[in-house]
Chain A
Amino acid sequence: EAQVTQNPRYLITVTGKKLTVTCSQNMNHEYMSWYRQDPGLGLRQIYYSMNVEVTDKGDVPEGYKVSRKEKRNFPLILESPSPNQTSLYFCASSEPRGGPLETQYFGPGTRLLVL
């Protein structure tokens, strides 16, 4: 089944404790992206990747890191989480050539609470 998976789905952590949220897709998509969703703000793009080893900042990259060593995986790293990073996070991937202008397929989301 074609899908985007994220782990963990729920995470409670404390300020300053490094964490990684994994994202994996099995559709051979080149473009992958991370978003955070906050009430009243919709989804905001954190980072995106056009292909392996090619990443760039979205609108709200501060406090986050990403890496793209393999085509299928695009982990999101919070090296020193803070309470303002409490949010619902979505990973997405889209079909080749068109980047996000092709249909984006979203993962189920990761709900993060930073105490």
Chain B
Amino acid sequence: AQSVTQPDIHITVSEGASLELRCNYSYGATPYLFWYVQSPGQGLQLLLKYFSGDTLVQGIKGFEAEFKRSQSSFNLRKPSVHWSDAAEYFCAVGANNFNKFYFGSGTKLNVKP
């Protein structure tokens, strides 16, 4: 069965520091992987997605993620965090029949001034 694990419930980083949010997935076939961000009181917005090809994916707002098949991971990174990045981040996997979609439980990011 498909599943997504985000082991960190809360993370706090200082503004300007680097960020890495962890995501591990369980999926029998080739995974289609996503990162979404949810700002307080808002819906979700797609940051980036991976289907195939280059395992380092660039997204919006300066985020990137790296797919590592051997570790079943798709970690999100940003070299320098801004206060506006404070939000909840969700990793997700899409089933290859294009229909079902599975989210992780989310990681809340706090940014210290």
Contact = CB atoms under 8 A, between A and B. Distances in A.
Contacts of A4: 43
Contact of B101 (A40, A41, A45): A45
Interface residues of B, number: 23
Given A45-B100, A48-B99, A107-B43, A100 B105 contact: no
A101 B102 contact: no
Contacts of B98: 98-101
B45 interface: yes
A59 B104 contact: no
A44 interface: yes
B43 A101 contact: no
Interface residues of A, number: 26
Given A58-B100, A59-B102, A42 B90 contact: yes
Given A106-B43, A109-B43, A101 B94 contact: yes
A104 B46 CA distance: 7
B45 A106 contact: yes
Nearest to B94: A101
A41 to B, nearest CB: 6
19 contacts: A4-B43, A33-B101, A40-B9, A42-B4, A42-B104, A42-B105, A43-B90, A48-B99, A50-B99, A58-B101, A59-B100, A59-B102, A92-B43, A100-B99, A100-B101, A101-B32, A103-B46, A104-B101, A106-B45
Interface of B: 4, 6, 9, 32, 42-46, 49, 51, 90, 92, 94, 98-106
